Amino acid sequence: MKSNTILVTGAAGFVGSALARRLLDHGSDGNTRVILLYHQSNPLKHPGHRNAIAVRGSLNDYTFVSDLVSRYEVNTIYHFASNSIVRKCANDPMNAYFTNVMGTVTLLEAVRNAGVNTVERIAIFTSDKVYGHAVPPYNESTAFVPKYTYESTKACQDIVAQNYLHNYRLPINIVRSSNVFGPGDPNLTRIIPNCIRSINRGEQPIIFTGVKDYVREFVYVDDVVDAMLLIDGKAAAGEVFCIGGTETVSIEALVERICQLMGYHGGVSIVDKPSNFQEIREQSIDSSKLRALGWQPKFSLEQGLRQCIDAPEYGAEPLLAKPTAYALAAASLN
């Protein structure tokens, strides 16, 4: 690691906590500190690492963020803090814009004024949702066509990052990812953990009316962490990368695959979708640029789903008996 002090925003979130654990478990030495910035939930399941500094505060508090960046002389920033639940953003657009857009403005403005002499690299983690209703597969040059709230906030966040990159020469990389999945996702309303947990509870998995044919692409959380660290180590500042290009699947086929892997045959519940909960019909990523840098996903969709099925946080207690082969397959991936 080139940096002495690394700041991870959204350190209690899904991807932020996964990257923080990797930094602390494998990448840090006695001269490297990892600052875990969180807003509500405590970061990491096993806090207390000697190189970790957990700090609670609001990313929208400019004085607080400026002081954090300058006091610790931060060298590298991984920015994950975001309201990432589509339904929550649709229900509370003001909070979504305040968190996703103004939080990024506050962070980058703090770097511009307080961290310009120390910060060497900033990775802004956005989403393939920035492309909105553009024709997939998306690549780094695809134009943004957002319509709904979440995708609009992420597009704005991305544009803010581009502004600070070009106007103020901040050393920013922008990373646009397809849907991230894996064990440890605290947002249990997402389709994969929700489906697995429902089956483990003896309940029918839920599919919203009209979305069974929607197409999504999923990338495993460890593969995302690999990509972020590779970009930090090898990419030039200012480059944009898309993470994904793994496998596209319809919502119906995804739920069917989970049911098959879990040995479940109890049917699916079709539930009316709230009228203001709007989503993109089809998404996929062209990850050629990232692959040319040296990235390759280690987990297929099925391998990742098996890991999720065995995750205790998704209710993996054996309400349904799972064949020993699942545990053996999971162990072989570690």
C-beta of residue 239 within 8 angstroms of C-beta of residue 173: yes
Residue 30 has pLDDT above 70, yes or no: no
Query: Are residues 116 and 256 both part of a single domain?
Result: no
% of the chain beyond a pLDDT of 90: 78
Q: Would residue 132 count as lying in a domain?
A: yes
Q: Domain range for residue 322?
A: 191-216+248-276+300-333
Q: Average pLDDT of the chain?
A: 90
Q: What percent of the chain has pLDDT over 70?
A: 90
- Chain segment 39-72, per-residue pLDDT in tens: 876 666 545 578 899 999 999 999 999 999 999 9
Say if residue 226's pLDDT is above 80.
Answer: yes
What pLDDT shows up at residue 147? 96
Q: What is the pLDDT of residue 237?
A: 94
Residue 324: is its pLDDT beyond 60? no
Has residue 124 been placed in a domain? Answer: yes
Q: Are residues 122 and 224 in the same domain?
A: yes
3-state secondary structure the chain: CCCCEEEEECCCCHHHHHHHHHHHHHHCCCCCEEEEEECCCCCCCCCCCCCEEEEECCCCCHHHHHHHHHHCCCCEEEECCCCCCHHHHHHCHHHHHHHHHHHHHHHHHHHHHHCCCCCCEEEEECCHHHHECCCCCECCCCCCECCCHHHHHHHHHHHHHHHHHHHHCCCEEEEEECEEECCCCCCCCCHHHHHHHHHHCCCCCEEECCCCCCEEEEEEHHHHHHHHHHHHHHCCCCCEEEECCCCEEEHHHHHHHHHHHHCCCCCCEEECCCCCCCCCCECCECCHHHHHHCCCCCCCHHHHHHHHHCCHHHCCCCCCCCCHHHHHHHHHHC
Confidence of residue 156 (pLDDT cuts 50, 70, 90): very high
Cβ proximity of 171 and 119 under 8 Å: yes
Q: Are residues 206 and 318 in the same domain?
A: yes
Decide if pLDDT at 321 tops 50.
no
Q: Residue 213: pLDDT band by 50, 70, 90 thresholds?
A: very high
Banded pLDDT at 317 (limits 50, 70, 90)? low
Taking 60 as the threshold, does the pLDDT of residue 333 lie above it?
Answer: no
- What integer pLDDT is reported at residue 51 of this predicted model? 86
Residue 323 has what pLDDT?
34
pLDDT in the model for residue 320:
41
Q: What pLDDT is attached to residue 316? A: 66
Residues 90 and 319: their CA atoms lie apart, in Å, by 34
CATH number at residue 144: 3.40.50.720
Regarding whether 110 and 79 lie in a shared domain, the answer is yes
Q: Are residues 133 and 162 in the same domain?
A: yes
123 and 18 together in one domain: yes
* DSSP code string of 102-124: IHHHHHHHHHHHHSTTT--EEEE
In a domain, 284, yes or no: no
Same domain, 169 and 227: yes
Q: Is residue 281 assigned to a domain?
A: no
Per DSSP bridges, beta strands 248-250 and 215-220 are antiparallel
Condensed to tens digits (0 to 9), the pLDDT of residues 87-112 reads: 899 999 999 999 999 999 999 999 99
What pTM was computed for the model? 0.91
Same domain, 174 and 254: no
Domain count for the chain, please give it.
2
Distance of CA 183 to the CA centre of its chain: 13
Alpha-carbon torsion, ordered 84, 86, 91, 95, to 10 deg:
20
pLDDT, residue 45, reads 54
Shared domain for 136 and 85, answered yes or no, is yes
The region of weakest confidence among 97-106, 131-140, 270-279 is 270-279
Look at 2-16, 144-158, 238-252, 281-295 and tell me which has the smallest mean pLDDT: 2-16
pLDDT above 60 (res 330):
no
User: Does a structural domain hold residue 186?
Assistant: no
Segment 190-197 shows an average pLDDT of: 96
- Domain membership flag for residue 291: no
Q: Range with the lowest mean pLDDT among 28-32, 123-127, 234-238, 295-299?
A: 28-32
pLDDT at 28: 55
Mean pLDDT of 152-181: 98
Whether residues 129 and 197 share a domain: the answer is no
CATH number at residue 319: 3.90.25
Angstrom distance (rounded) from CA 271 to CA 208: 5
In a domain, 289, yes or no: no
- Domain-located, residue 152: yes
Same domain, 20 and 121: yes
Q: Are residues 92 and 238 in the same domain?
A: yes
